[in-house]
Structure 1
Amino acid sequence: MPDQALSPARLLLQGTQHSLPLILAAVPFGILYGVLAKAAGMSDLAIMGMSALVFAGSAQFIAVSMLGAAAAWPAILLATFFS
C-alpha cells in the first residue's frame, strides 16, 4: 500500500513505532542530565529551557559541569558553543 493511501492516524502510528528505539535510548541521558543539573543548583525552569534550546547533549553536560564548578558565564557559553 503506498504511503499516500495511509490515513494520518496510521502515519502517526508508523512514525511512533519507527522512532521508539531512539526515544528509549535517549531517556536515560535525559534523566542523567536532569539529575546533574538539579545537583548543580539549576531551577526546574532552567533545566527544561536548556533542554528545549540546546540541541547537543554534550553541550548540556559541559554547561552543567561548569555551573557546578562555579565557572564564569562567558566561559560556559564559549565552551558550550564549541562543543
Structure 2
Amino acid sequence: MSEEILSKFEEEPPEGYNREGIIVPPDYYAVIEKKATIMGKETVKREIEKTENLPHGFIFSPDYTPRILIEDGKVVAIEILKKE
C-alpha cells in the first residue's frame, strides 16, 4: 500500500518548494540525495527512503509546510515541504 501511495508523489512539488519527506502513517520517508561524479560531472539523484530512527516527541519548525493527501475523506499521506 505504501508504494502505491508514494507513487503519487513522483511529480515535482509545488513551485518554490522542495520535498523534505512524506508521512504515510505510521511511517516516515525521507528524501535522500545521492551524488555521483561521472566523467567529471556531478549528478544528484533524489530518492525517497523509509526512515527508522526518528526523534521522540513533538517536532515543529516554521520553515516547513505540510501538504495533505486526502482520499475518500481520509488522510492517506502528509508531504513535508520546505520553501526554497
TM-score bin, normalised by smaller chain = under 0.3
Bigger radius of gyration among the two: 1
Q: TM-score, normalised by structure 1?
A: 0.25
Q: Which has the higher helix share?
A: 1
Higher relative contact order (CA 8 A, sep 6+): 2
Q: Which has the higher strand share?
A: 2
